[in-house]
A and B are shown apart, each in its own frame.
Chain A
């Protein structure tokens, strides 16, 4: 299915309200960026509204659904609860940074193949959480997967296909490791 053809522009924030800007240096999806941010805005808004990176989703704004999960210093956090003003020096990875070159990350590919995404709105958050889980635990049990994903709500799937996808991703990543070690 095609996207709606609408140019994404950055609406920006008007200066007349006396906003205090702060210069921060961050690593975003592996690239160093120097940004001028409004300190009290949240990381989620910084990504979506100011940088036009709408892959990270907003589901509740209160840390209760996990749709906005990103990796901050390698750890999954709710970007709706992180202030831009605390980010100087931060290393942030979002869904847009998950692909390895043109290839899908195994986690993405597994979700694609196993029906891990239906409406797809919780998917970016699920993928970031899964990435973090598999980094810590290469071979999680079903129980461990359920535990790790319990902060990511999904209204479509009943989680069954998501859990299968995580298991398949783990398998794919282990195989990849073995092939790489051999090669």
Chain B
């Protein structure tokens, strides 16, 4: 490969200076001239018919400009099922659902007006568990489900309240179980957690009374998708809608949906052109935006005595919350890889996304894979233990390698999984005595690891333009949102590489859908790969124009030119080089501009069929990772402390190694939080009991151990410079790795997250009382009930 000047280097983040000086403007910071302030009245009931809303008193309060309810905003939206009203219509389905909103001259007035709105409810039966909500005979949360507009990926379920049923069928699992020497079935539980981005949610909207154009300022991950969704909901052509993105203070999936946006738009229609700002505070952000799906996962596996996986059956109940949001696609993309990155001849998966009367669940970094990895990777350890095999040997025997035909029918290539397994386990000292071989009394040390494969949404499209002006300055126009992941830096590096200009000559324009070419979304770890390719192509096109012009200036052919440091010169000639700016000035004049465009779609890609679970190219690329943990468990208190974490990730090619490490470390921290602390606790009235940073426990700087990251580069044939994605896998295997380490330490396994001190404490107590074979540290190879 040619020597690279910018790619593969830990270039300093180009957005860092604005961020360290406090001058970066985030959605929450934005102030618009003449704006009004919105506040929202939220439902206090989990499932109820709205008998009456009286907004008269609120309307009469001085300073109030608009009061809206579902009646004033008769629109519904949704990514794949149009089931979500802008504001509740006739019914509420969770505590925290927006029922009415006020726009006023200041926040205090708006809040005071909200308090004057009267709502009368008639309660309906409510469900707080996905398994209960889909019991035969359960009351429907969406009576009109059948008549909703839906995308063609939607497969209705066989039982009440199931909004999507994903099926994967390969081989014959029943036959597979009969062939097996050992069959094991377990149930695993993952609770809902919060995205908890440090910046709470907010949106600003304005409707131009003359043209009817709707402008929304919001830090959203997917401005082009929400533009489309808004246009569909409002029945407007797309050009009548504009999304403008300020900086985003973290999202992790939460900011790709329409939540505050819909309320701001509904209000803006009533304010005669004055913009409206709606800000959610921390508690509202926890409850009324979105959460990560709770999941109940049943896995049944059949293995041969020698450790060969024969059959696996997975059944997953995804708690979707009150509205579909992204649940159908989470159900598909999360259920499809749920049997794990292994060669298994007989596979059956049934994923059910189920409505409940809880806060909505939607996209969260990892898109379902973290939940199923908690189940699958603990299950793998338990199988190994019962077989009397080493957990690493067991995985190495079954794990995907290059050229394997996966259970969904795809021939895999560029699989770096084995390397991540070997490197992570080596770094943690798997199979070796622990560093703390003499722990204090009552402290149990254990090690564990887990691996995953994460697909990306496929096929999707990114487009970009690269513009060079007569000063030689390069501007990237690309619809990737800087959510903190570092895309601005990565894309600048790619443009700088192709054009051979200094990195500080490259800038990326902020996102405005009226101006910037289309991008599917900043999700699914897709940006470096898709937008990276698009920017690369655009930069090449711009470069070609420069070299063509330079060739005529130098009176030579393009092939004789070489580029470096923003200049072009003729190889082996003494003639002085011309800067890009000079080339443009001489050929096009001092106002001249050169621009190239580029687009990328993984053409042959096709998402898995929700009826069969099959696709020959289900994902443009797969991200592979293994993480390993060493833990110390305090037997008397149940507290788990981490001694060390190791993460080995196959990134294809590290465009910016420092940034890769930073992404992985951040993922680890999030995964550690999910493993040990994080859970949105919902009581039996459907209320979130801990919607604050006091009681929803993000890890602090004192809660994290030494983290070692290992970058594995198994290049992707289609990725820019071989790169794959990286954003999501950082947290996916973490809880399972820690869970396996805790099981290794205690000799007892815990199937439910988080591994809070109290949960671990009771598990230890239970295992002391009845040391059952299923939780014994000794393999139970001869257990007749498990063996056939």
Contact = CB atoms under 8 A, between A and B. Distances in A.
**Does A touch B (CB under 8 Å) in the complex?**
yes
B482 interface: yes
A146 B702 CA distance: 5
B666 A158 contact: yes
Contacts of A65: 198, 693
- Interface-central residue, B28, B247, B250, by most chain A CB under 10 Å: B250
A155 B23 CA distance: 20
Contacts of B701: 145-147, 149-150, 152, 154, 159, 162-163
Contacts, number: 218
Given A4-B25, A104-B17, A115-B13, A60 B693 contact: yes
Nearest to B475: A2
Interface in B665-697: 665-670, 692-694
A48 B692 CA distance: 22
Given A7-B33, A154-B198, A161-B662, A62 B26 contact: no
Minimum-distance CB pairs A-B, first 3:
A55-B22, A119-B484, A121-B249
A20 interface: no
Contacts of A60: 282, 692-693
A93 to B, nearest CB: 12
A52 interface: yes
B534 interface: no
Contacts of A4: 25, 30, 217, 244-246, 510, 512
Contacts of B252: 155
B486 interface: yes
A115 to B, nearest CB: 5
B63 A119 contact: no
A119 B12 contact: no
16 contacts: A8-B31, A54-B22, A57-B29, A59-B282, A62-B694, A99-B21, A104-B17, A108-B20, A112-B12, A117-B15, A118-B484, A121-B198, A121-B250, A149-B701, A158-B668, A160-B662
Interface of A: 1-4, 6-9, 11, 13-14, 16-17, 48, 52-62, 64-65, 67, 94-96, 98-99, 104, 108-109, 111-113, 115-124, 127, 145-147, 149-163
B35 A11 contact: yes
Q: Is the interface of A mostly helix, strand, loop or mixed?
A: loop
Contacts of B217: 4, 6
Given A16-B63, A158-B666, A52 B282 contact: no
Contacts of A53: 22
Contacts of A2: 507, 509-510
Contacts of A152: 701
A112 B16 contact: yes
B228 interface: no
Contact of B20 (A62, A112, A147, A154): A112
Contacts of A162: 701
Contacts of B661: 161
Contacts of B33: 7, 9
Q: Is the interface of B mostly helix, strand, loop or mixed?
A: loop
B20 A155 contact: no
Contacts of B25: 3-4, 6, 54
B32 interface: yes
A57 B20 contact: no
A122 B248 CA distance: 12
Contacts of B109: 14, 17
A64 B31 CA distance: 25
B702 A54 contact: no
Contact of A120 (B24, B31, B694): B24
B285 to A, nearest CB: 9
Given A64-B694, A115-B658, A119-B249, A57 B197 contact: no
Contacts of B281: 61
A145 B23 CA distance: 25
A156 B666 contact: yes
A121 B244 CA distance: 19
B317 to A, nearest CB: 28
A120 B507 CA distance: 18
B196 A94 contact: no
